[in-house]
């Protein structure tokens, strides 16, 4: 095996290990906060809940970047990515319901970052997409990459597709 393939495989293994360690962060977000903690976050953006939201957006950004660099996966990794996708979709659903209930900006950022990340995971898991396109362009994740804006774009593209 070439050194490049070894490093890429190691990087994907590291990515999967990091996302497994991020499960606690996702669980912290999904855990039902009480209304007063959300209201405190709206009024004091440095609250614990606001910090969880910010950390989650950063984690989605970092995970997106790592997966974009390592899109070739084997069968075992595919199964792990499917499990990861289920966790990220749960975060999406939670964030969407909280946006409707509390209108907290942190939840909106979590929602769009999760939407962007799940979109990438879906793309990597789609064999036909990967074969036809060669994957998502790594140029997407340049230093100025905004995962929240990317997530908004994913939602808009999905909306256009459904209305077509």
Q: Which two tokens stand for residue 11?
A: 């990087």
Q: Which one-letter DSSP state was computed for residue 159?
A: H
- Nearest-CA neighbor of 84 among 49, 125, 112? 125
The total number of structural domains in the chain stands at: 1
pLDDT digits (tens, 9 = 90+) for 130-140: 889 888 887 77
Check: CB of residue 29 under 8 Å from CB of residue 92. Answer: no
What's the predicted TM-score (pTM) here?
Answer: 0.81
Averaged pLDDT of the chain? 82
pLDDT digits (tens, 9 = 90+) for 69-83: 888 888 888 998 999
The mean per-residue pLDDT over the stretch 28-47 comes to: 68
pLDDT, position 103? 82
44: three-class secondary structure by DSSP: coil
Q: Which domain holds residue 104?
A: 3-163
Check: CB of residue 147 under 8 Å from CB of residue 116. Answer: yes
Check: CB of residue 148 under 8 Å from CB of residue 112. Answer: yes
**Using a CB cutoff of 8 Å and minimum separation of 24, what contacts does 16-23 make?**
16/77, 16/80, 16/81, 16/84, 18/62, 18/63, 18/66, 19/63, 19/84, 22/59, 22/63, 23/87
Q: Where are the beta strands (DSSP E) in 7-164?
A: none
């Amino acid at each position: 095996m070439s050194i490049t393939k070894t490093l890429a495989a190691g990087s994907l293994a590291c990515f999967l290990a990091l996302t497994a360690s991020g499960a606690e962060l996702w669980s912290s977000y999904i855990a039902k906060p009480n209304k007063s903690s959300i209201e405190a976050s709206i009024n004091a953006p440095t609250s614990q809940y606001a910090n969880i939201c910010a950390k989650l957006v950063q984690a989605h950004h970092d995970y997106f970047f790592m997966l974009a660099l390592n899109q070739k996966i084997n069968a075992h990794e595919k199964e792990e990515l499917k499990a990861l996708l289920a966790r990220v979709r749960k975060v999406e659903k939670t964030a969407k319901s909280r946006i409707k209930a509390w209108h907290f900006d942190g939840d909106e950022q979590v929602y769009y970052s999760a939407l962007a990340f799940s979109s990438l995971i879906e793309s990597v898991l789609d064999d036909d997409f990967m074969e036809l396109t060669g994957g998502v362009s790594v140029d997407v994740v340049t230093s100025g990459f905004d995962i929240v804006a990317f997530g908004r774009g994913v939602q808009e593209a999905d909306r256009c597709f459904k209305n077509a």
